[in-house]
Structure 1
Amino acid sequence: MTAEPATTERARSWRGWPVMARIAVIYIAARLVTTGFFLLASALSGPSSRYGVAPSLGQLALGWDAQWYWFAAVSGYPAALPLTPQGDVAENAWAFLPVYPYLSNALGTVLGSWGAGGVVISLVAGFGASVVLHGLLRDRIGDSAAMWAVAFFTCGPLAALFQVGYAESLFLFLLFLALRCVRLRRWGWLYVLVPIMGFTRPGILAFALFLGLYGVHRFVRRRVDAFPLREMAHLVGVAAVAVVAGFAWQVIAGAVTGDPRAYLATELAWRRNWIPGASDQFVPVEGWVQGAAFWFTQWGLGPVVGYVALVVLVLGVTAVLLFAPQVKRLGVELRLWSASYLVYLLLVFFPQSSIFRLLVPLSPLWGALAIPPSRRWRVGVLAAALLGQWWWIYNMYGLGNTFWQIP
């Protein structure tokens, strides 16, 4: 038997496995690789790292924002906003939404600790997100390409989030389910998913924008794709729920603390780590303008170059979403979601090292990189994803000691 027929036979055998079984093999293998990266980062961690010398896997899994989620779960949210010596609102738990910490706490009572509950939820939700992502992509790009996209997703630069105490993994699972419901036009489930998403991680207002754009798209194409009144009503209803969920936490924080600016002032507290004396008044897009000036000045290029780079970045991303044939093949739902989420980030975020983590909700775009038929291309993308993952883990967990290294 020659090598080529043997390879073909193995491929056929692999494709004959149930989808969930194949995804489980990929996901478990990916988690083992990530664990190896964490162990290597631990061995390279020195006294200047926030973790110290040779931290355990548990310490790494519960670092950074995981500490805030834990604090919210065990201590709740402050009724009085903490202040800095300068009188500004200090970093506090109001920046972290309650579903993930409280759910982790509930599971942790069974498993013995909040950390165990949080990591298990991240692991399980990551697998669920992988399964739903495959379903989202398979109808558009085929089973093989969708499975490669799952491999990129589970091994990607931010794949460590699937086994640390962060809410991203759970949010991705809910998000992919919601996008799948929109594609299948199963509106009833969205009335459940959207509020849960809204209290899991910031980003539900991007989903509200996505629903609005999707409704416009359906209305424009109603002669070739029927858009009955019942579906219009559901879209308006779900979008309204998303908007309410998007602002509800701000209202709750304001009611509990007596300060209507509590949530936004808390979020802006982190920005002062880079822009000392920054205003505690939120202005849309200001974060990116400030960030462009700050970072390009740090790099010795000056703010004007930063502003030009920001415009070029926005135009470039817009062109990719509108015209790249691989992206167009993913379907209008995933393109509109990607555009909506990027607009949301442009409006609210200050760019720094956490931007890599905040781009994870764009993970369906992995499907565009899985479309080319060349196996060499796909292996190259997978290798680049793993290299990026090691770079991220080493910098954020092995080093993790400057404002350049915040996950």
Structure 2
Amino acid sequence: MSSSLKLPIRPPRLGRNLSEKSIQGLQFVFVMWLLSRLLIIIAMQIIAPHYPATPAEHPTPFPLDFVPNFVPTSSWELFTHWDAAWFKQIVTQGYNYADDGKMYNIAFFPVFPLFVRAVMSLGFSFEIAGLLVNNLALLGAMILLYLWVEERHGDSAARWATAVMAWCPFSLFGTVIYSEGLFLLFSTAALRAFEKHQYASAALWGALTTGTRVTGVVLIPTFFVVAWREKRPPIAYLAGLATSGGLVLFMLYGWIRFGHPLTFVHVQKAWGTASGINLQGWWSMIVNLFHWRWGAVKEFTKLFMVFGSAYLFWHMRHQITRVGTVYGLFSILLIINSGAVLSVNRYVYGVVTASLALGVLLSRHPRWGFATMGLFGTMLVGFAIRFAWWRWVA
């Protein structure tokens, strides 16, 4: 036998290679999550206490538990400003409401407080429990987003999409004690499951989404339209209906406890929010763009994120899945029609397919991607400092 005889080379095992690539991708996701969260913590706990700013005497809108002339010092309390104080009241005292035109915590949906309460039962304080729930939920949302985008667009787009979610300035609300993390986690899981024709999972995650924030109702028309366009079986429509479960249960609670199923809608008037397009609010944003002050920056981010995202969904409609496009466009329409102009930029961040679409786009233009991430990181530090000083961010 010739000594030059060679054994046949075993073909590579594709499944294992893909698994290894996915593991590397998930390691990237964890690093993005960890570094961005550490940046927020450093900005709030180290930089903010030494930042030269004038203490606020009466912030607008006036927040719960605010102390006039507040100066931040390193503490857990810095993570509990603005909406976090309302969540703390729900967790520690329960829901309250009266039809007297004042602010009440019934405006906030129950799933996030329930999760926080469950973690507190293990012996943690509200602050630690809230931070664990929100931050770990954001990590879970990033993992699901990576897997979803990788399946459709490859690992490069998946990395960019999760980087967008991690470094967007409004990812601040995925660290402080807000419901952003859970909303992103549940909505991502619901959309991904529906796209994969996993209707029971889509219904479950969808119901948790509508129980976390009212904007989760966008899943219902999204599933209906996609089911109709793709000629899916009747069970797809049933999954769409089932996603309303969280909202229906909260309405039932309001009816039993306070005598009306739409108490969470009625109380919005106290925040200056009413259903329908707030033409005055949108016009004020446009006018403020011409004033050289902080307000101009805030209004620009609102207008850019809302209408820029709408254009992005339309521009990328042939590059991303139908589920992602329809959900994104319906979400933007709801945000515009909600009247809640104070927080529209934060609500756009909560639309997971905005991160997906921008990630896919930046993966094709990486130079713009790196510049965008640099800008995001800089703004993230500024927003974290402002939040610590009881300044309104979104």
The alpha-carbon distance between structure 1 residues 36 and 314, as it changes in their structure 2 partners (threshold 3 A), is closer
Match of 2:131 among 119, 129, 144: 119
Residue 364 (str. 1) matches residue 381 (str. 2): no
Equivalent position SS for 1:380? helix
Q: TM-score, normalised by structure 2?
A: 0.80
Alignment of structure 1 residues 99-248 onto 2, 5 Å: 99-219=111-231, 227=232, 232-248=233-249
- Cα distance in 2, alignment partners of residues 379 and 119 from structure 1: 29
Equivalent position SS for 1:344? helix
Match of 1:41 among 48, 59, 62: 48
- Cα distance in 2, alignment partners of residues 291 and 67 from structure 1: 26
The superposition leaves residues 151-173 of structure 1 with CA deviations (integer Å, 9 ceiling, x where unpaired) of 12111111222221111101111
The alpha-carbon distance between structure 1 residues 300 and 142, as it changes in their structure 2 partners (threshold 3 A), is closer
Alignment of structure 1 residues 5-404 onto 2, 5 Å: 18-38=24-44, 39-44=46-51, 46-48=54-56, 52-78=70-96, 81=98, 83=100, 89-219=101-231, 227=232, 232-259=233-260, 261-271=262-272, 283=275, 285-286=276-277, 288-296=278-286, 318-322=310-314, 324-325=315-316, 328-352=318-342, 354-370=343-359, 371=361, 372-398=363-389, 400=391
Structure 1 match to 2:298? none
Residue identity matched to 1:75? Q
- Cα distance in 2, alignment partners of residues 163 and 364 from structure 1: 20
The superposition leaves residues 242-263 of structure 1 with CA deviations (integer Å, 9 ceiling, x where unpaired) of 3454344234323311245522
| Aligned-pair CA distance for 1:192 | 1.8
The alpha-carbon distance between structure 1 residues 17 and 215, as it changes in their structure 2 partners (threshold 3 A), is closer
The superposition leaves residues 2-33 of structure 1 with CA deviations (integer Å, 9 ceiling, x where unpaired) of xxxxxxxxxxxx96853322221221122112
Query: Percent identical across equivalent pairs?
Result: 17
Structure 1 match to 2:16? none
- Cα distance in 2, alignment partners of residues 171 and 313 from structure 1: 18
The alpha-carbon distance between structure 1 residues 140 and 47, as it changes in their structure 2 partners (threshold 3 A), is same
The alpha-carbon distance between structure 1 residues 107 and 377, as it changes in their structure 2 partners (threshold 3 A), is same
The superposition leaves residues 95-146 of structure 1 with CA deviations (integer Å, 9 ceiling, x where unpaired) of 1111111221221232431111110011111111110011121123210221
Indicate if the aligned counterparts of 1:105 and 1:113 stay in contact, CA closer than 8 A.
no
Q: TM-score, normalised by structure 1?
A: 0.78
- Cα distance in 2, alignment partners of residues 311 and 20 from structure 1: 33
Indicate if the aligned counterparts of 1:253 and 1:262 stay in contact, CA closer than 8 A.
yes
Residue identity matched to 1:393? A
- Cα distance in 2, alignment partners of residues 179 and 215 from structure 1: 12
The alpha-carbon distance between structure 1 residues 333 and 41, as it changes in their structure 2 partners (threshold 3 A), is same
Give 5+ residue unaligned stretches, structure 1. Answer: 1-13, 84-88, 220-226, 273-281, 302-309
Equivalent position SS for 1:328? coil
Equivalent position SS for 1:190? helix
The alpha-carbon distance between structure 1 residues 394 and 184, as it changes in their structure 2 partners (threshold 3 A), is same
Indicate if the aligned counterparts of 1:137 and 1:330 stay in contact, CA closer than 8 A.
no
The alpha-carbon distance between structure 1 residues 255 and 37, as it changes in their structure 2 partners (threshold 3 A), is same
Equivalent position SS for 1:185? coil
The alpha-carbon distance between structure 1 residues 180 and 260, as it changes in their structure 2 partners (threshold 3 A), is closer
Indicate if the aligned counterparts of 2:55 and 2:389 stay in contact, CA closer than 8 A.
no
- Cα distance in 2, alignment partners of residues 331 and 157 from structure 1: 26
- Cα distance in 1, alignment partners of residues 42 and 129 from structure 2: 21
Give 5+ residue unaligned stretches, structure 2. Answer: 1-19, 58-65, 292-301
The superposition leaves residues 51-106 of structure 1 with CA deviations (integer Å, 9 ceiling, x where unpaired) of 7223324112111111111111111112x5163xxxxx211110111111122122
- Cα distance in 1, alignment partners of residues 358 and 209 from structure 2: 27
The alpha-carbon distance between structure 1 residues 369 and 243, as it changes in their structure 2 partners (threshold 3 A), is closer
